[in-house]
A and B are shown apart, each in its own frame.
Chain A
Amino acid sequence: MSKDNVKIRDLIGKELLFSDGAMGTLLQAEGLKGGEIPETWNILRPEVLIDIHTRYLNAGSNIITANTFGCNKYKLEHSGYDLDTLTSSGIKLVREAIEKFEQESDSPFSKKPHFVALDIGPLGKLLKPIGNVSFDEAEAAYTEIVKAGTKAGADLLFFETFTDLYDLKAAIIAAKENSDLPIFVSVAPDENGRLLTGGDLEAYVALVEGLGVDVLGMNCGFGPKQFLKFLPVITKVCSTPIIVQPNAGLPKVVNGKTTFDVLPDEFAADELELIKGGVCIAGGCCGSTPEHILASVKLCESALPKVQTETPDEQCDYPKIAITPLEKKNLTVISSYTHAVYFGEKPLLIGERINPTGKKALKQALRDKDINYIINEAIAEEEAGSDILDVNVGLPEIDECEMMETAIEEITAISTLPLQIDTSDVKTMERALRIYNGKPLLNSVNGKQESMEAVLPLAKKYGATIVALTLDESGIPETADARVAIAEKIINKAKEYGIDKKDLIFDSLTMTVSTDINNAAITLEALKKIKETFGVNTVLGVSNVSFGLPLRSIMTSTFFTLAMENGLSAGIINPLDERLMAAYDSFLTLRGFDNQCLRYIEKYSEKSDPYTTQKSPTGQTGVNSNDMLQAMNTGHAVMSTGHANSGTDNMSGRTPLYTAVIKGMIDKAGIECKAMLSSGITPIEIIDNNLIPGLDTVGKSFEEKKTFLPQLLMSADAAKAAFDEIKKYYAENGTKGESKGTVVMATVKGDIHDIGKNIVKVLLENYDYTVIDLGKDVPPETIVDTVLEHKIKLVGLSALMTTTVVSMEETIKQLREKAPFCKVVVGGAVLTKEYADKIGADRYSPQAMDTVKYAKEIFGK
């Protein structure tokens, strides 16, 4: 009889179960050709499928996977079959085989409970940003499969052989939203224990456990021995039942046929070790056969103890084999798409700079959609040592949800750090949690009923770890105990939603010490009590403590140290604040996180003390400490480059800045420019007498082929460093440099080569033109709209490929129609003067400087 009354969720993690082995290998043996779609056999050769399933049932498998691995809209596109038909027939064939086996077979295995798995492989498409399929498109494709399989009566959903965590996240969300069936997931790591897109096994476990899958594991790629190496990595952090389906070793082509080198007995011996190591569902992948599974089943039956039943006379008509239970781990973890980050050991740093509160420049960048500004902040925070990046893009006048999505995508493209999603807008929150590539950290929930009811279900659904603020309807309590009480309230409410307290990180709220002298003490006391009472992790934004006081970072860094000593798990801080970082670094050393002080020594042995005022080498005193530090660092850099110092003074009356530009000394150019500005030389004089002549000299030398591109670029970067100082000067003095004109630059649709465009952009900016950089792969419409919006007189287009010059032509055509006032200059490796004329460009620019010259013609300066 079919065991309708037995649910698989009641068995997993309690007794040993077996899934089946390879499908493809057996189908090929039956004559499936390379290139043929295996799932079509569900219709064309159903008897073969019934036979294969029956052979696995006879081998002792409990879970039989339907022949539906490739049932998705991408793989079936040209098959002539629809997804529903192939999926439902696949499920039906397994069900038929099981019913027949349970009714007719006299095998002892016929008494076992059996289950039908809807087999779901990856789409075979890479997701953006590497590939072309969006997260939403992937999720929609999985939704189709999940719905079809659920409707057809599968007992569980089995997502296997995944090699990308983002793809897997889309699949799991599709499953959760469209089915109540148990979710099994399995990835195929490479020999280093990483997925194709860089995720390690800990990141994998963090993500899928957060999403609440029923079973997780590994399959394919390797034989069981390799999986024995990976298993401890997983069991160390995993509390979820584990499935493993190794290949029967590695494929070898012998006389044109693929064979595998691990035979059933060896396979079974290794599977036994895997099971002893914590696996509770075992099966096989490529190359494994019913013989492999049978050998494993038999060996486990004889070598492993039986499940102890509670009542001795309880009926059981098949041998229930005991497993090695996994202990519950209670780890507070978040992840990026590459790695996991754990709270609770050494304190972590959450970079706070991507948050517009009190930051004029970032506010402006958000309004201008200047994503480069955000990217550069992220890189700076990462390089300064952040473990996690806070992302808050909330401004009343922008579309926060859209901006958050863009910011997450762009930061993920340049940094592998996990992100803290920081928003109070529920719509933004849900979208961000959904598209974030990993197990997110969410900032925040608080003790208000409304907040908990809105945030907790979202956190549960997407597996977020949540920052919980100890405030509620009556505000921030003035006593530590009242904050502890709110923490308890949040813990209890979270529990109702199925969220464990390990996924809550408590913020006992830093208040300004200048408004009440007890504020810091209350915060610290609450922090300590919450940590000790509930055994949870804690977080604080520390900088608020010093608001309104002079030299804030002295106060902030001391408070930070105190907080860490009181059990702070993570500080939300500005990692570019050197004093704060010094406090952090010394804390790590003092608290034993820095073996033999090596980290501290490496970081600080070359640094000068920012707190002392020293005599400078030239005998002047009273130099601002920051300048000192910079000067010393730069001095060091200049000396190490040897020759760089020499020519400076005897360069026929030229200034050091001019020399720095010509020689491409980037740091020195900034310092020299700053020095000139502070000695009273006007920006105009600096630009006209130093920067422009310097750039012209290098540009001329480049045209004469005496200098090569990298040197031109280094000079451009040096000039840029000087211009950055001038911009700062303007900002501080309330004046603004006059732009000579605005140019739109873009790499055309379909093309991703933007280096040429970027070079031209830097040069144009050096010559004081404003550049609106639309980036790469830019559709003609975007360019036209920008030109119309800003009444642009000059557009620069770049394309590297013959295939994308077509887009360039189209862009020019649209510009001519809608913006006839606008001139177009084009460049790129495949272009020639003739071709540029043919596609209707106004000017062909074979070299970067040509565009600058053309801009001078257009703008008359």
Chain B
Amino acid sequence: MNIITEKNGFNLDIDKKETYRYLGYHFGGEVSVNDELEKIVDELTAKLKENITPRCIYEIYKLTVDENTCKLYQYHMDNNTASSDNVFLSINSQKLSAHIKECRYAILFAATIGPGADMLIRRYSGRSTVKSAILQAAGAAAIEAFADEVTEQIRTEIDTLFSQSETKFKMRFSPGYGDFSLEHQKDFFRLLQLEKNLGMSLNSALLMSPSKSITAVIGVL
């Protein structure tokens, strides 16, 4: 299991356009963002950056896929010994199966920008609706940007593992998307030990805390 934290040298760039998109803007029309709003967005984005502690963890598994089910096995497992006994995780989802059907390996991935973002949002939620909305949007943009950034880093680590270059990844596919049941959040927490490793937790409705967190399956081609 590999943990990637701030110190591993990524440079998180929160894309302002994404923040606006999460706020409900769609560009191309007649409406533009006014200066007043832009100033607040800049100020809060800077504040958010000071308060995030991004961390990511991933683990690679051997994968078998049929029409309905994806099964994850230990990475070093000998191909002939695949049996129900040593399945780490079995996911019933036609959508996910279709998405990663040609992959032989899968990565379980989790990332968070930490509890600081939630604290900031909470600080503003009683005082300024617009600021807490902007922080929500900027937080969403930040976790997505971080996930994209570390996915690239993971790709190079997998290159090293496979002794090849430019390993192809499928798009991240998260629990709750399509028929990939949110119940599987529990499996991410169990297998990646997210409480211990990333300081994340899961409530009874299967919502993650910190709220700006992502779990996903990444198919490896």
Chain A residues engaging chain B, CB cutoff 8 angstroms? 34, 122, 124-126, 130-132, 163-164, 190-192, 196-198, 255-256, 372, 375-376, 379, 413-415, 641-644, 663-666, 706-711, 713-714, 716-717, 749-755, 758-759, 762, 777, 801-804, 807
Contact = CB atoms under 8 A, between A and B. Distances in A.
Contacts of B210: 130
B35 A708 contact: no
B37 A192 contact: no
Interface string B102-135: 0000000000000110010011011111101110
Contacts of B198: 196
A708 B24 contact: yes
Given A706-B31, A750-B205, A750-B207, A713 B130 contact: yes
A414 B122 contact: yes
Q: How large is the interface on B (under 10, 10 to 19, 20 to 34, 35 or more residues)?
A: 35 or more
Nearest to B210: A130
Contact of B25 (A122, A708, A751): A708
Contacts of B200: 126
B145 interface: no
A709 B207 contact: no
Interface in B165-207: 182, 193, 195-196, 198-207
Contacts of B5: 190-191
Contacts of A372: 126
9 contacts: A125-B195, A132-B201, A256-B75, A641-B39, A714-B130, A717-B129, A750-B204, A755-B129, A803-B207
Nearest to B198: A196
A746 B76 CA distance: 49
Contacts of A122: 196
Given A192-B6, A752-B203, A758-B129, A714 B36 contact: yes
Contacts of A256: 75-76
B207 A751 contact: yes
Contacts of A255: 76
A198 B130 contact: no
B195 A379 contact: no
A753 B130 CA distance: 15
Nearest to A800: B207
A30 to B, nearest CB: 19
Interface in B18-57: 23-25, 30-31, 34-37, 39, 53
B74 interface: yes
A710 B209 contact: no
A803 B203 contact: no
Contact of A710 (B37, B116, B207): B37
B36 A665 contact: yes
Contacts of A413: 119, 122
Given A191-B7, A379-B123, A379-B127, 17 more contacts: A124-B195, A126-B195, A197-B115, A198-B116, A375-B123, A375-B126, A643-B35, A644-B35, A706-B31, A708-B24, A711-B37, A749-B205, A750-B207, A752-B207, A752-B209, A753-B211, A754-B125
B23 A709 contact: yes
Contacts of A762: 129
Contacts of A666: 128
A432 B211 CA distance: 28
B136 A755 contact: yes
B35 A755 contact: no
Contacts of A644: 35-36
Contact of A198 (B115, B126, B128, B209): B115
Contacts of B193: 124
Contacts of A126: 195, 199-201, 209
A644 B75 CA distance: 60
Contact of B132 (A130, A191, A665, A755): A755
Nearest to B120: A414
Q: Which of B24, B25, B206 has the most CB of A within 10 A?
A: B24
B129 A707 contact: no
B219 to A, nearest CB: 21
A755 B195 contact: no
The 5 A-B pairs at the shortest CB distance, nearest first, are namely A750-B205, A256-B76, A713-B130, A131-B201, A196-B199
Contacts of B34: 643, 663-664, 711
A482 to B, nearest CB: 46
B199 A163 contact: yes
Given A198-B115, A708-B23, A713-B133, A801 B205 contact: yes
A710 B133 contact: yes
A130 B126 contact: no
A847 B109 CA distance: 35
Q: Which of B31, B36, B196, B204 has the most CB of A within 10 A?
A: B36
A191 B198 CA distance: 14
